[in-house]
Structure 1
Amino acid sequence: MVRRTDWPLPPPDDGRAPAGSGPGAGGARRAGRGRSRGRSEPSGERVRETSLSPEERARAICLRLLTGSPRTRRQLADALAKRDVDAEVSAAVLDRLEGAGLIDDAAFAGAWVESRHHGRGLARRALARELRTRGVAPAVVDEAVSRLDAGTEEETARELVARKLRATRGLDREKRIRRLAGMLARRGYGEGLALRVVREALEAEGEDAEGLLED
């Protein structure tokens, strides 16, 4: 049976600077940097962990990871397993953090799709693959990628080709086709869409695209 403890949740971020961050703290921080330069993790952090209960230690590990960036439940579970946290303790801690809203795979997946599509131009297929590797459940993955409609995906493919088109000028026709279509394929676009978008871009430029397969 896992022993549960009542943990206080982390206080909300009200935008105020932490204690010791005012103007008078600059000298102390500079002095501290000089002493700690070259250290990776304070040894005191590891020492404090040994004085915690198994659940408190697992929770501390998760909160440190979540402070850096959002994580899926699977990612946190894997991190706890690597730190030799008991599976039953891990499940109890993750359940509690999930109930408090600190773990939300659906929100993670939605933000991932938005960021990676607009930032990297990834298509639904590539986005789904990335989410699956991070342990997001198939139904949650499907829901997240379904928000990216086919029209938006095609528009992004056209923008990607337009940005790369100039860099392929001077190459022979077949090399241009392979390079542009390959760039879209690596981002998860289907072959039919990729070839159609490339063909239309080359024709608009005056390139003879005859023989390029249509979808």
Structure 2
Amino acid sequence: MSTPDRALRADAARNRESLLAAAEAEFADRGPSASIADIARRAGVAKGTVFRHFASKEDLIAAIVSGHLTTLTTVAHQLESSPDPGGALLEFLTVAADQRQQHDLTFLQSVSDHHPKVTALRDELHTRIGTLVHHARDAGAIRDDITETDVFLMMCAPVHIVENLSTPTPLLWQRYLAIIFDGLRPQGAHPLPQPAPQLS
């Protein structure tokens, strides 16, 4: 590939990332009422530029969510070979909660829930989490009856907890992650009253 071609590809990638950042900020401010025109204005581009990158508003939302899912999947994959499986699982949950703290994707996730790309990435993340949970169970770091679905559902729990406060300190979620993770440990564990759910 020639230097001009590489430069064009790099420019296109930067433009796409700028659009995604502008769109995420606009959705955070305006919720579902954010329009492509609003997003283009925020990004400093024409509406046509947005549609050159994303065929629809739904595809744009899916791209935002997919980016965050890809980040978590990459982190989980990198931690799979850790010599400390319990520490690796805790590190993953820390990264996941920190991402949730910085990026409130609740609305965007609900809109993109059935988008094929988002569904595929969510399934891949679930599989990667399963590997981390399997290693942690085998190492005795977490109780035997914890499943990957349990952990998948708890990823954002520490941040959701502190959202009940009007003005939580920025890192208060770490307190509740520590409480949650202690609940995963086998020491002093009691039988769980219900079986783990299955994700459809």
Structure with greater Cα Rg? 1
Length-normalised TM-score, structure 2: 0.36
Length-normalised TM-score, structure 1: 0.34
More helix by share: 2
Q: Which has the higher contact order (CA 8 A, sep 6+)?
A: 2
